[in-house]
Amino acid sequence: MQYLQQRQDVLRAAQTIARTKMVVGTWGNVSVRVPDKPYLLITPSGMKYDTMTIEDIVMVDWSGTTVEGIWKPSVETPTHVRIYQQRSDVNAIVHVHSPYLTAFAVAGLPVPVILEETAQVIGHEIKTAPYAICGTARLADNVVQTLGSGVAVLMANHGMVGVGRNIEEALRVCYIAEETARIALLAQSLGQVRALDPAEIEKLHRGFAAYGQTKE
């Protein structure tokens, strides 16, 4: 079996988002880019994360055709493929259905940059891509266009996609985004949500990127 480390990364991330309640049941999905080939490794469709093994991870090409694996790949494979095709800097994608982010996605509202860690890790407000049915080319296009050069995008009435240079970065984006959405909703209940100034966001994000460290 090829790409054991990449398969382990996908499995570990999938089990992590399930264990931490960032997804419910078999929803959500995880993928990584295969080094030096136009392929990706992605979680299979409809399989429980707690029983999944590295043998269950599916390898597909840019057309979504299975290259290696016995299971059907995630229904969101077209979106993953389009992101990898458009973003050479992205090597990992995590899609979650966490409750606070999904609330913003249902409301069609962006998650504002209200925390220093949001500015550092994400660096932009998280916009909502227009709704389209899951697994469609239209959804893939909407997600890619709304994501742009960013690292996080909401999917209307669905959830969020976080991307990164590796699986750790993509996971970090998802967790910081969920915490930001949670605190934004709490602050809104108190009557005021203050987003950071764009200059502050840029300075924090640039500093984080330069040092490559998470603020403690």
Q: Are 27 and 59 in contact (CB under 8 A)?
A: no
- E strand residue ranges, the chain: 29-33, 39-42, 58-61, 66-68, 92-96, 128-129, 152-155, 159-164
Distance (Å) of CA 31 to CA 28, 91, 190, 194: 11, 8, 38, 34
Q: Are 149 and 76 in contact (CB under 8 A)?
A: no
Q: Which of 55, 68, 76, 179 is catalytic?
A: 76
Token pair in block for residue 173: 């984006």
Amino acid at 92: A
- Please say if 76 is a catalytic residue: yes
Q: Are 108 and 156 in contact (CB under 8 A)?
A: yes
Q: Which residues contact 71 (CB under 8 A, 6 or more apart)?
A: 44, 45, 47, 56, 58
Distance CA 163, CA 10 (A): 13
Distance CA 43, CA 9 (A): 11
- Annotated active-site positions, please? 76
